[in-house]
Each structure stands twice: as structure tokens, then as C-alpha cells.
Structure 1
């Protein structure tokens, strides 16, 4: 080992605290890159393989009722490679001991073969035997939530008739990776199930003998999806076609795709922030080392070492810190990715989900870390090349005391001696102090944005379930029925208020931009469910026009006053041109509100409702649920409290928990910046502080001179970090939001207070560590250091 390499090891040991802190910042950036890239690759590849192996359809074509022979005509559409017709419908599962019926979707299976499309993955038991309409296969996650297994019995209501079934198998399906009850956005294994049964039995239950109500289409390579959808709609429209749609609009796939897109965006935006901060810290540390080792650099050059050898020596120091941090980040990324895979497995029902290491992520992480570190170090190495032996061995020019200015002299008259020393240090090293302030502010900005996002999640929950939706129960009917049914609901003991709603599926268009969603009809006066404006004031649905949620207006790129084209996909399927009369601040989903009477008139179906919101007395809830269970027209009963709990669980322990990871990393980067600022100040002032101790300053007074500088820099960073965090939070909130749910970046003073506490805590811990080193310092050795 060469003498310079021996010196390199000694230098690394001497600055091990700073090297560890900088390496930790680099490790956090690489960890995020490896973890998010690996999660993206794992979800994408597993999803694609699952879809391909079990032949998930490329196009879904629901229809009211179409004859079976139409399947052959669908197969003749150019570009269609496979067709599977089936029967599907909504059901209610009656569980023993359960007071509330559980929503389910019933799906048919071919009698004598596997499905050509949308096959199922059997996890236990077997498929229903041909000619056995009482045998079913149950969704595995739902069965696990209720401790059901093959051999158990189940009662369910289908099309108003209650039937008993034998569970013969448990299964998963690529069609139900993300399982939510119709009309809801949050998955809950206990509140939604899927039932597969033989085609004949299910057709008999829903009056579909010789007919189907959904066609699945597989496309050949290179086929035009839009052309196939248009052709399928032309064939199915005479039979009540509800509008074919591609896999991209399928609910389960949309959630998985949005999650993957969010991970991809985060993997390209978050890690560079950490690596840029690490480059800044390396620049400061190496700059300080070069300044302190001027004499040694001169001696090395005097003994024959060239600029390249001396520069390479310090460059190795940079590479050692960067490589160590990158290696630690790779290992941490593997561990964090495997831990997060367990979280994703709980919400996305893959048969298996293994964290896949992406070699490109390791190469990219290490390469970017080294390049970022090199960028910070190369600017310092220019000084090494510029130093001649004679110049390097001379002491540096003394600092210019005149830069304190009139303000510094004025303050100096009213400050004691230690405080004046702190003030002189700050004014003389203004550029470095400004850099440290900016670095600490950047760390605080990350903390502010992460805590703001956490508050935004809570804001979403509170606004949705306390302000917008003030009901207790939502009831959904099997089909649009007479509003006279509301009187029957209102007469139930314990029901305090009933409000109707009408929901119809629709395709919303603004020019070339389309969105597959629906129209929600609300009555003139609403108390239980309201559309709200930005000031949280109720918006009355207009007699002629539509009110769009903020997310939907952004997706369609439409503003109030514009005209929206609505293609209704139910009943007579009218084509409506509606003016946009307002925008509602809705944080869950992307609804479009309309006056219910106006909607019914446009549909030619006056006096029809598809559901109702109920406010109930909790003391009568058991009797109310039992009555709803016995109503043949009721196909769904949802409790707001259960939906709220499910959303909170998803936000706190599901995929949304990644924000806690990012919040922890923000603390690490803040601590790294503050600790390095304190260590650099100690290294630069070791001789001065030793001199103060020798002339009679106590340990506390000497520590005040050192840590006072850190305190001033930290306090100056707080308002700057608050401003930076305010703007950064909007960008991060936009990254977390999509058309399915929105996370607002709200100004929450508590969030800023918590972020300040994080910074102050990091400063206190850093100050304590530095003071410990100061108390242990060898005064004689420090005084021997040449100026």
C-alpha cells in the first residue's frame, strides 16, 4: 500500500463521523432508487405475466341482454383473437352472525372447459362440477377474511332470490387484483367478495338462459383497440350495450397502473434531491480538508508527487465515501423493497409477488452517486492543482475582519465577548454560512412536505367522511326503481332521514379527451351528501348543467362555461350536451353532479332512484340492517364508518405508508446536513477553541462559541425551510394524487411546527455529539496546529 493510501485511511478514520453522515445521505437516495425501481419492476412484470398466463381480456363489453349467437359475430371483428361471453351480476352474501349483508359480484364459468379469457387461479379445492348449480368458487381473500374454506356452506341473494351454495374451491383472478365494492374506492377483503359458478346456474339466477350480459374480447397483436371497441358497440347497442371499454379503464387495472406510475415518478424525482445534497456536503468537507492540509499538499508536491497523484488521493477520499454510501443504499434498498412487497401483497391479490432486483437500478444508483459526489469534489480539486509547493507551505492569508460591516459593529457593542465571536464568524464566512443555511432549509423543506402530505391524507378523510358525506348508510338498488321506495325506507324504525340519488354510467367527452365515469343525480336540497365548493359551501346541482369534481375537470381540461358531451350508457342511452356550471372540491373519486330530476327527464325515466343515503339511530341499526337484508331490490349496503376505517388502514399501513418511509429519510438528510455543519465548524476552529480554554474560558463558554454559530444558522434556516417546504409540498402532493383520489397540500401550522421540531432535534443531537468531541479534545495537540 502506497503512503498516500495509508494517509487516505487515516483521513477516513479521522472524519468518520462526517463521512458516515454524508454516506447516510447518499445511501438514502440510492435506497429510494433501488426500492422504488425494484417495486416498479416487480409490480409491472408480475402483473404482465399474470395477465398473460390467465388471459385477461383486452376489451370488456357489458350489455343488458344479448343472445348467445352474437358471440360468433363478435369473433369475426377484425383484430379479435378470442371471445368469451359470460353472465355476471351483483349479489349479497348473508354470513352467519353478520348483521349486515356483504356485497359480492357473481361471475359465470364455462361448464366443460376453462375460460378462454379471464381464467381463475385456483388456490384450494376444485372448480364447480358441470350440472351442479349449487357449487361455487369463492375469492380467496374474502374467504380468508371470514375463515371460509372448501366444504363450507354459503347463503347469497341473487336477483332478489336467496339461495344456498356449497364452497368447493378458492381462487384468485387477474380481473380482481384490487377488489372494491361497486361505487367504492377502498378495498376491504371482508366487505366485498367474488363468486364464480357454472354458466347454467348463474344464467338461471339472472334470467339469462341462452343469453349473456358481458363479452370479453382478446385482441391480436397490432389490432386497433378503438376500431374493435367501435365495432363491438355497433353489434351490442341494439341489445342494450353499455359501452365497451379497454383494459386500461378496468377498475382493478387502473388502481394497479396508477400505483406503478406513482412509483416510477418518485424514483426519478426523489433520489436526485438526496444526491445533490450529498454532493454539496462533500464539497464543503473536502474543501475544508484541502484548506487544512495546505502544508501537507505542498510537502507532497515537494517530494515529487504530481498534481495528478495528489488530486487522485483526494478524489479517492470522495469515491470512498460515495461508494460506501451507494453500497449501503443498495443493501438498504433490497431490505426496504422486500418489506414493502409485503404491504403491496396485502392490497393487490397476486398469486405471488417477489421483490425483483433490477440490475439497472444498482448500476444507476452507484453511477449517479459517484458522479454527484465527483461533481462536488472536482471543484475543490482545482485548488489542489493550482497550489505550488512554495505557496502551499505558506500559511493562508489571515481573514479580513472588515467584512462585519456597520451592523456587526453596532451589534458588537451590546453583545458579550462569546456572542461577538459568534457574530464575527458568521459575517466573515458569510458564503459558507449561507450554504449551510440553505442545506438545513432543504432538509426542513423535505420534512415540511412529508408532514404536510400526512396532514393532507387526514384532510382527505375528514373532508370526505365528515363534511361531504354526512350519512351513516348508503343503500344501492338492483336497478333504478320508483322513488316511492324511499317512503318504505323512511318508515323503518330508527331511520332519521332519507335522501335519494341516481347514478348512471357515462362516457364524458371534451373534444378528444374522454373519461369513463358517470353522472350522479342529487336532489334539490341535500343534507347527507353534498357537492362543496372551495370554501366548503354546498353547491346546488343546476337544473340544466353539470358540476364536475376538481380532478375530473383537470382530466378533461374543462372549465365552467364550457360544454361537456355526455354519452349515457344506460337505459335509452341519450347523448347530452351539458354546460359546466361549477367545480366541486371532491377528494375521493371523480364524480360529475347533476340535478336528479333533470337527469331523470333527460333519461326519460321520471321518478327513478338507484340508491339512497340514510341517517340512522345507532340503537336501531341491527333491526335496520335486518330489514335491508330482506328487501329484494337492495343489492348493496355500505356503512360510512367501515369505508372510513378501510381508507385509514390503506393510508397508514397500505401503499400509502411509503410516505412514512420518505418522512424518515427526510429526517436523516436533515440530521446529516446539521451534523456536518457542526463538525466542519469544530474542525475549522479547533485551535481557536483550545486557545479560549487555555486563557480561562470554561467548557460551556467554549461550546457556546462553537454551537452558537450552529444555533444561528439553524434558526435562520427555519423560515427559509418553511417557504421552500410550502412550495415543495404542492409538487409532492400532485405526485401522490390521481383521478381516483386527491391529496391536498394544505397550509397546516402544526405541520410546520413538527418540521421545525425535527430540525431542532437534529441540531440538538448534532450539537451534543460535537460538544462531546470538543470536551475530549487534546488542548496541547490542538495548539500545535500551525495557522
Structure 2
């Protein structure tokens, strides 16, 4: 038996070497699926492990509370609430900064630090320098993203306007915080490291600047293990309501944590959807290759069985062939996946502010992936392996019976066309083996579909940019105010030099409740005659504001399980914390963020206020933009300024960069799969038709004519397979964008002629490259060896 095994192992090694081109091409298909899976899993597990360790080590809060003002002694009452563990009271505020060498407006969020330096909750990681010293009210620590964007470090100085008062601040250190892993400006959805940062000051300095001596306006706390967070939140709301609390909320509603969670969920989706597509193609391709290989080895199987090899030996031999290819693909995929995963992880670190990234992946996930890969590969060849094992020796010694000759329907329909003889052969070979033709066509279609899935997202990002920054936002800049003001201020604003047009809107924090579902967000009141911001539908057409009721984005409507006409309870998290009941007037579409909209008059009326606004949108004269920025920076009531072009730049530098990088890798691997599919189809056809093509050469056909027969069949498969691939790609794209929807963004399905052309061109180029290889092999065809009669 050992001699038998040795002979089969020798045969296996020789066949793997003789088929090295096909083996490598199939291995690349498998490697593509494994690499995408490993890349996603590595980033998912690394970010998850890093976040978990960071949260635990630096005591990230589980409950957050914002207030107007509470005296310091209230902290003792908070600490006595059942379930409350560690708690930190602090002062928070806003500032406008004047950074040397940077003319655009810059705003910052200020957080106080206790006298001891490190707070009990949301502790600070010091990357460089130190925390502000007690008694030094002009020292600040900067978050790393802001410091890096402006090249600031310990000892640098800049001016700041805090609560209407200007003062010079000195940088004591560069730090990070688990509370600000993902740094977002107020009311924004994207980070802007140059124009928005987080600063920490000691409590004496910030308390004095914000008129909060002996008081606090923010609480962060941890909950005792096993105690319900919801119960602690309810108790805090009752206790702190008299101090103007905006409603306690849990970690799941904290901006930074929520967006990072969305990103992790998307990586988890990528780790399942893409590999599923790639593995399906690999399984199909292996089935085709092994089936055709075995059909060319009928005589060899017969000889093996005549020499005493059992069905089990034959099955084991061909199983080893399949598994050897799968192992090669698995190893390649693991190496490529780890390499790409490290590169993508380093890119995530540019805007996810961790002290460092822990590259971790569960070994059991790798083991499971390896097991699935080998199983999928073996299942791909199982049918062919079983047929080889069950083939009776006497039948195997005979060549396959000739196909039944008949004129096919296609030949009848095309009988009026004067084809050349090689072209007639192509039509007959294609139509007389419809199952084989169908499978080959599906291989081409799947290759086309995979490339299309990788490329359609570039068009989607373009549409997202156009919708958000051309159709929705048409202002040059917006100014957020500290407190709502009468809309009459807009008339004075419009008359200022450099401001061409100004309009106001109002946003209020709110909790939307529908039965047991709730969502914490902001309601935006927009004037009916708005010219600078619009609400659009799925067709990018403006949606008129309803007379009454609330407009919701489709993502938010699904989360709350509501539709037009349903009633919705709203808790306003500002002012007197009143409850409002309204109806859902309509559902619209947005690609970035989630929103709830009302008419400005309707919102103010529901809140019992007059014509108030707390945001001003403006179009400015580009030639006088710097003076407008300077004027707004010096206006006391202005909290911060957002420039539309800066938001667009931020979109491309953060969200689009990571999204399109992942897409690029996927497209590249999709191209590899396309080449693998096409190359194997051509090589298998060449192996099957070698005898026939050599016979035609003996009969006088030229090299170009037999190449026409072989490659012409491939051309027919391309013509039929590429349009089918577009349909398959469209379906896969719908599956992908459905699985990738998050609060941060929803990828629209947009497939342009360019995307279709790129996917078709990639497949055609793969076919051309494969055809050149086949053409060269035809030139070196050994007519004597090929024409030897098989007895």
C-alpha cells in the first residue's frame, strides 16, 4: 500500500507542476477570498481589542450627563445614587482659537481636569509632555489629532477666546482620551482635525473662564458591575432635572463610541460578504477544472484501477489534488490578508485616536477560515472526484462516447449567415455542449460581477459628495451660536461687508420615542424659503417642508419602525425638557448622518418660543472671506464656524479615504479572480481540444485558423457572459450596500456606464492575456505527441 501511495504522490507532484499555471490561477481566486476575510477580521479584532483595553485601562464612562449649572455639593448626591461607581464632575465649554500661520476659523471643545491631574473617569493618555499643572490657568493639553494637524507641541502658544474673553494659552502636552477616539465638531458628522480640536485645562482656570467656580456642567460616571445602566440613567434624570440637565445617556449614544461601533460592524460585514462571493467563485471554478481534468484522464484512471488501486485510493488522490491547490490559495491569502490588514489598520489610526493599535486576531477564527476554505474547495471538486472513483475500469479504458450529432436550434437560426469553416466549428462546439458552455459563461459573468462590485463604490462616493455638498449644503460657511437669538439678527448679518446672503435655522437635542424604540438625535428647524440648505429625496430632488409634523431620514424611520402618518413622541433635551407628540409627515433620504426636520416656525411654535435661530448659514464673497472669518471669530455669541469646502476636504481625507482604500483592495483582488477564471477557461479548453486542434493542423489548417477556433469560442463566452455579469454584479452590489448601512453613512447604489465599461475591460484584458498564452502554446503544439492513439 505504501508503494501505491508513493506512486500516486509522484503523480500528484507531476500534475501540479504540469498544471502550475492553472493551479496558481485557482489559488489566486481562493487567496482573494481569504485575503479580504483576513484583512477585515484583522482590523475588526484589532480595533475591538484595542478599544476594549483602552476603555478598561483609562476607565471610559458608561453614563454621560450635560447640565446648565450644578453646585459642587450635588456631586455627593450623585455618588449616593444606587449603582453609581466612579464619578467625575467637570466643566465643559467652547473656545475659538487663533492658530499662528492658519487663517481659517478654528474652534475647540474645552474639558476641565481636577487638581490631581487625572480624573477618576475618562482618564487621559499623555502622548507627549504633561497635563496642565494645578495653579497654571493658562496651560492646556491638546488632543493628538489637532496637535499633529498644526504641528503643535509642548511650549507652543496661541490665542483663544473663551466665554467672550481672549487669553494666551500655552501647550503643556499632547494627549488622547477614550472619550474622543473619533473627534467630531458640534453638529458635524465628519472629523476636521485642522479646524476643530479638544483641549484640557485645570478646573480652576476653566471654571473661572466659564463662570463656573464651585460648580460643574458635565458629569461622567461608571456603573457598578451588574447594575442596570437604564436604572442609573432614570435616577440621574430625576435628581439633576432642576439643574437644567439635558438628559443622561449611555455609552451606546456617545458620538465617538457609536461611530466606532458602526465602523466595526461594517468591517464584520466585509469579513463575511466579500469572502462569500469570492469563495463561491472559487468553488465553481474548482468544480469545472477538476471535472474537465478527470475527463482527460479516463485512461489513466483505468490503468490505476487495473493495477489494483481502489475507489478510495482514486478519490483520495484527486482530493489531495484539490486540497493542495486550496492550501496554496490559503497560504497566499493569509500572507496577503495580514499585509493588507496591517496597512489598513495604520490608516485607521490616522483618525481613530488610540494610543497605539494592538494587532490581534483570534487564532480560532484563522482555524475556522482554514477549515471552511479547505471544505469549500473539496466540495467544489466532490462531484468530479466521486465520478472518477466510481468509474468502472472497462468503461474508463474506452474514450468518451462521441456526442450525439444533430443540428442545433442556433445553427438553424444562423444558417443564413455565411460563416467560415472555423467559425462554424465555434458555433457547433458552443451549442452542442450547452451545460459546459453555460458553466464557462457563468465563470466569465462572475468575474465581471466581482470587478463591478469593487468599482461601483467609486461612483457611489461621487454621488454622496454631490448630494451632500452640492444639493443639500449650498452655503459657504455656517456659524453655530452659543444660545438661540432672534432671527432679526440675520438682517444685520446680511449687511456686513463680504456676506452676500444669510439665513438661520435652529437645532435642538431630542429623544425620539416610538413604543419601545428610541433614538437620541437633533431636530433641525429649516425656514420654508430656505435657499442654502435643502432636504432631498432619493432622486436628489428638493422635498418641501410639511406644514406640520416631522420629516425623517429613511435610516432613522427604519430604526424607529415608523412610516408617514404614524405618531411619534419627542422629548426635548433642552430648556424645560418638554414632551411633544407629532406625526411623521414624510420620509426622505440622506447618505451621510441621520436627521429629523421640521419647519423653523413649527419647531419654535412647538417649543413655545418666538422666531429663534442658533445657526446661521452664509454665502460670502471669496475675496473678503478672511475678513468675514476674523469678524465671526471675534463675535462673542459665535461658538464655532464650519466651512463647506473644509467639510468636503475632511470627507475625502477620512471617510472616503478609508472606504475607497478598502474598495481598491477589493477591486484589485477582483481583477485577480477575473484573470484566474478566464485563464483557466482558456487552458482547460486547450487541454480538451488539443487532439482535435492538432488533427486540424495535420489536415492543413494554419496556426492562426486553429487559434481562431480556440479563442473565438472564448470571445463568444465573453459576449454572452459580460452582460450576465453586469446583472450579477448589480445583485451583489445591492446585497453589499444593504449590509453596510450605518448611522454615519449609507452607500447609494449607482452604476454608471464607466463602471460597466471598467468591469468589461478588465475581463477582456484578462482574456487577451490568457489568449496570448494559449496562442503561444498552440505554436509549440507537439503534433506527434498529441496525435498518439490512446488504446
User: Which bin holds the TM-score, normalised by the shorter protein?
Assistant: over 0.9
Displacement of 1:89 in angstroms is 1.1
Contact kept in structure 2, 1:120 and 1:173, CA below 8 Å:
yes
Displacement of 1:785 in angstroms is 5.4
Whole-Å Cα distance in 1 between the matches of residues 617 and 169 of structure 2?
31
Contact kept in structure 2, 1:31 and 1:330, CA below 8 Å:
yes
Displacement of 1:536 in angstroms is 3.0
Displacement of 1:652 in angstroms is 4.2
Map 1:142-291; keep pairs closer than 5 Å.
142-291=146-295
Deviation readout 1:87-144 (Å, 9 max, x if unpaired): 1111111112332221110000001242000110011111111111111111122111
Partner residue in 2 for 1:13: 17
Map 1:544-555; keep pairs closer than 5 Å.
544-555=548-559
Whole-Å Cα distance in 1 between the matches of residues 271 and 423 of structure 2?
45
Contact kept in structure 2, 1:651 and 1:657, CA below 8 Å:
no
Whole-Å Cα distance in 1 between the matches of residues 126 and 480 of structure 2?
31
Which residue of 100, 104, 107 corresponds with 1:100? 104
Whole-Å Cα distance in 2 between the matches of residues 279 and 324 of structure 1?
15
Displacement of 1:651 in angstroms is 4.0
Distance 1:543 1:69, change over 3 A: farther
Q: Which segments of 5 or more consecutive residues in structure 2 lack a partner in the other structure? A: none
Q: Which secondary structure state, in structure 1, belongs to the residue aligned with residue 484 of structure 2? A: strand
Which residue of 56, 75, 78 corresponds with 2:79? 75
Which residue of 342, 349, 352 corresponds with 2:346? 342
Contact kept in structure 1, 2:682 and 2:770, CA below 8 Å:
yes
Whole-Å Cα distance in 2 between the matches of residues 128 and 32 of structure 1?
45
Distance 1:76 1:698, change over 3 A: same
Partner residue in 1 for 2:425: 421
Which residue of 323, 327, 341 corresponds with 1:323? 327
Contact kept in structure 2, 1:34 and 1:361, CA below 8 Å:
no
Whole-Å Cα distance in 1 between the matches of residues 789 and 129 of structure 2?
79
Contact kept in structure 2, 1:85 and 1:214, CA below 8 Å:
yes
Map 1:361-380; keep pairs closer than 5 Å.
361-380=365-384
Distance 1:149 1:782, change over 3 A: same
Partner residue in 2 for 1:596: 600
2:121 maps to 1:121: no
Map 1:564-583; keep pairs closer than 5 Å.
564-583=568-587
Displacement of 1:519 in angstroms is 0.6
Contact kept in structure 2, 1:34 and 1:358, CA below 8 Å:
no
Whole-Å Cα distance in 2 between the matches of residues 407 and 653 of structure 1?
50
Whole-Å Cα distance in 2 between the matches of residues 126 and 9 of structure 1?
63
Whole-Å Cα distance in 2 between the matches of residues 707 and 651 of structure 1?
44
Whole-Å Cα distance in 2 between the matches of residues 669 and 77 of structure 1?
60
Displacement of 1:752 in angstroms is 1.7
Deviation readout 1:597-652 (Å, 9 max, x if unpaired): 22112222212110111011111111111111111111111110010011022244
Which residue of 91, 95, 103 corresponds with 2:95? 91
TM-score (norm 1): 0.98
2:399 maps to 1:406: no
Partner residue in 2 for 1:468: 472
Partner residue in 1 for 2:532: 528
Which residue of 483, 499, 502 corresponds with 2:503? 499
Q: Which secondary structure state, in structure 2, belongs to the residue aligned with residue 222 of structure 1? A: coil
Which residue of 599, 610, 614 corresponds with 1:610? 614
Partner residue in 1 for 2:491: 487
Deviation readout 1:384-443 (Å, 9 max, x if unpaired): 2222222211122112222x4233144255321111100111112210110111122122
Which residue of 434, 437, 445 corresponds with 2:438? 434
Whole-Å Cα distance in 2 between the matches of residues 735 and 598 of structure 1?
36
Whole-Å Cα distance in 2 between the matches of residues 203 and 656 of structure 1?
44
Partner residue in 1 for 2:695: 691
Which residue of 606, 630, 634 corresponds with 1:630? 634
Whole-Å Cα distance in 2 between the matches of residues 357 and 239 of structure 1?
46
Contact kept in structure 2, 1:58 and 1:219, CA below 8 Å:
yes
Contact kept in structure 1, 2:536 and 2:543, CA below 8 Å:
yes
Whole-Å Cα distance in 2 between the matches of residues 165 and 623 of structure 1?
24
Whole-Å Cα distance in 1 between the matches of residues 748 and 384 of structure 2?
42
2:305 maps to 1:305: no
Q: Which secondary structure state, in structure 2, belongs to the residue aligned with residue 572 of structure 1? A: coil
Q: Which secondary structure state, in structure 2, belongs to the residue aligned with residue 401 of structure 1? A: coil
The aligned length equals 786
Contact kept in structure 2, 1:345 and 1:353, CA below 8 Å:
yes
Contact kept in structure 2, 1:54 and 1:119, CA below 8 Å:
yes
Displacement of 1:555 in angstroms is 1.7
Contact kept in structure 2, 1:453 and 1:733, CA below 8 Å:
no
2:87 maps to 1:57: no
TM-score (norm 2): 0.97
Whole-Å Cα distance in 1 between the matches of residues 514 and 750 of structure 2?
30
Whole-Å Cα distance in 1 between the matches of residues 540 and 284 of structure 2?
44
Displacement of 1:322 in angstroms is 0.6
Contact kept in structure 1, 2:477 and 2:617, CA below 8 Å:
yes
Deviation readout 1:11-55 (Å, 9 max, x if unpaired): 111111111111001111111222211111100010010011000
Contact kept in structure 2, 1:109 and 1:198, CA below 8 Å:
yes
Whole-Å Cα distance in 1 between the matches of residues 487 and 163 of structure 2?
20
Q: Which secondary structure state, in structure 1, belongs to the residue aligned with residue 593 of structure 2? A: coil
Displacement of 1:786 in angstroms is 3.0
Deviation readout 1:294-336 (Å, 9 max, x if unpaired): 1111111111111111221111111110111111111111111
Whole-Å Cα distance in 2 between the matches of residues 365 and 328 of structure 1?
13
Contact kept in structure 2, 1:41 and 1:356, CA below 8 Å:
yes
Whole-Å Cα distance in 2 between the matches of residues 18 and 188 of structure 1?
49
Q: Which secondary structure state, in structure 1, belongs to the residue aligned with residue 22 of structure 2? A: helix
* Superposed structure 1 runs of 4+ greater than 4 Å apart: none
Distance 1:388 1:64, change over 3 A: same
2:673 maps to 1:669: yes
Q: Which secondary structure state, in structure 2, belongs to the residue aligned with residue 531 of structure 1? A: coil
Q: Which secondary structure state, in structure 2, belongs to the residue aligned with residue 687 of structure 1? A: helix
Deviation readout 1:695-752 (Å, 9 max, x if unpaired): 2222211111001111111111122111122222122112332122111102423222
Q: Which stretch shifts more, 413-422 or 82-91? A: 413-422
Whole-Å Cα distance in 2 between the matches of residues 645 and 401 of structure 1?
66
Deviation readout 1:454-481 (Å, 9 max, x if unpaired): 2111100111101111111111111112
Which residue of 378, 389, 396 corresponds with 1:392? 396
